Structure 1
């Protein structure tokens, strides 16, 4: 029975903690408030993730440290560096592998499907910073300062606390018109949080995953129109009514809303095809994505506030090929 230290108790961190606990592992789940799932194998701990000494103490005896933190978008440049530095220090002092819940922002604007070999070419300061944090962790592993480093990269999440739930899920469930910030018919990859957690667990427990990035097995790309239609059909909501927000109005709204202002930074992801190739993880580990309809039903349950909306355990599944 191994011990795992997860820092960040949002949807990704909490789902990862549940999956590990259901496997019989011991989990220390750290957040500023000490919140998290109620499970006998999960110890919920209140701590400041920027305090390297505190996180290092909590990491003693852990096989892996999971960076599942997610500062507010408008605070990335100030909040991410001290958080990442503290976890890197903890990995160095404890001997634990460092597993990072990453994203696709470091690639910047792309043409064609993204693979793990796509260059991290983002130039916007906030997006480049995410790439730089991974480069620093990988360099530490390659230099022997830490045991191992792995970054798991997913696309926009289907479940709660996501662009999908904010712009589409809530209004569509209520039968209202949904206003979106990009074209309706551009293919986009969407990732289930359950699959993100499964890939994080695999990255920590299978040494074949170490010292490189991995893309999360995800459903085939869908346009916003296709995803909205599928969502309403699956959950029994009225047919979707969709409107694209004109760019001038979108930019003006960003002056009033920090969230909308931050969406403008990554608006390129919805202006042209934004497709993630995850065949490497499927081929190497035999993982396959959660069925899309199942994930969408979970999304609706979460938005409705139903108890037990996210499945307590999503074990790694064999490939469906």
Structure 2
């Protein structure tokens, strides 16, 4: 049985590894520390994600190589290029399909629901970088350098790495007021980590998914206020008390808080509707998103363990 090589042991990589293992597949998961889910079919390996030779060695004979990395957002411009290059090199040398856990940054500021046919029109250096990563990988496939490439794009994760898990989850569970650096009543798509993992596995194992991008199956958009209401109801917490950080205060404190400094780049995603259309994936592969209340109960459990806020420090916001 071929092995699946997952590079990156954050929530996306670890959830994907568990899903594959539960399906009976063998998995190698790579991280700098050698961490990852404990499962008899999962081999945890410590390696540098910029080491193309080591990744190429680990990728030999694999069914697919998954790029589930997510460097700290403030380090994207320095950390992503060598990692992306190493993954491309490993896929080329191993002759394995490359599956990328992507996001919606590459579209830039949009009007109307996003589909996979939207142009990758981002111009901000960090946003454009994600678009360029896909363009480079797709060009390598078209040139015959790599066997196949697929990118799965998700929006803000419910269980971790999002404005919701960082600013709202714990205060709402405790019955306290949650203060958010964004408007409360703008529709926004939220993606379950489990649906991202399911689509990554589908993209790796279904040849009809290769050589294009797919949006991870996601539920209908909800405003922050609607999501907070569903979250408290699903977890038996008091009705949510919410407030938005006034703009003058936000401007004053932004330099003091790294996440808020970075949030300025993607604030547009919350200031007007940010809606992802995932019907291509759901109709093609008969996938359905995890029920929203189930995902929100899982979110609360992770918050209780301290997992989601920790992951949110290096967030991937859509």
Report the counterpart of residue 263 of structure 1 in structure 2: 263
Offset, 1:181: 1.5
Q: Structure 1, residues 98-155: CA drift from partner, whole Å, max 9, x if none?
A: 0000000000100000000001111100000100010000000111100001000000
Superposition RMSD in Å: 1.1
* Stretches (4+) displaced over 4 A: none
Report the counterpart of residue 288 of structure 2 in structure 1: 288
Offset, 1:183: 1.2
Query: 1:126-141 maps to which residues of 2 (within 5 A)?
Result: 126-141=126-141
Report the counterpart of residue 304 of structure 2 in structure 1: 304
Secondary structure in structure 1 of the residue aligned to 2:305:
coil
Counterpart Cα distance in 1 of 2:306 and 2:149: 36
Counterpart Cα distance in 1 of 2:37 and 2:251: 38
How many corresponding residue pairs? 307
Report the counterpart of residue 5 of structure 1 in structure 2: 5
Report the counterpart of residue 150 of structure 2 in structure 1: 150
Counterpart Cα distance in 2 of 1:2 and 1:281: 25
Q: Structure 1, residues 169-196: CA drift from partner, whole Å, max 9, x if none?
A: 1111111111112111110000000000
TM-score (norm 1): 0.94
- Stretches of structure 2 lacking an aligned partner (at least 5 in a row): 308-318
2:265 matched to 1:278? no
Offset, 1:162: 2.5
Counterpart Cα distance in 2 of 1:5 and 1:148: 15
Report the counterpart of residue 75 of structure 2 in structure 1: 75
Query: 1:113-192 maps to which residues of 2 (within 5 A)?
Result: 113-192=113-192
- Stretches of structure 1 lacking an aligned partner (at least 5 in a row): 308-321
Secondary structure in structure 2 of the residue aligned to 1:255:
helix
TM-score (norm 2): 0.95
User: Which has the bigger relative contact order, CA under 8 A and spacing at least 6?
Assistant: 2
Counterpart Cα distance in 2 of 1:153 and 1:206: 17
Report the counterpart of residue 314 of structure 1 in structure 2: none
Counterpart Cα distance in 1 of 2:93 and 2:248: 50
Report the counterpart of residue 211 of structure 2 in structure 1: 211
Secondary structure in structure 2 of the residue aligned to 1:27:
strand
Offset, 1:2: 2.4
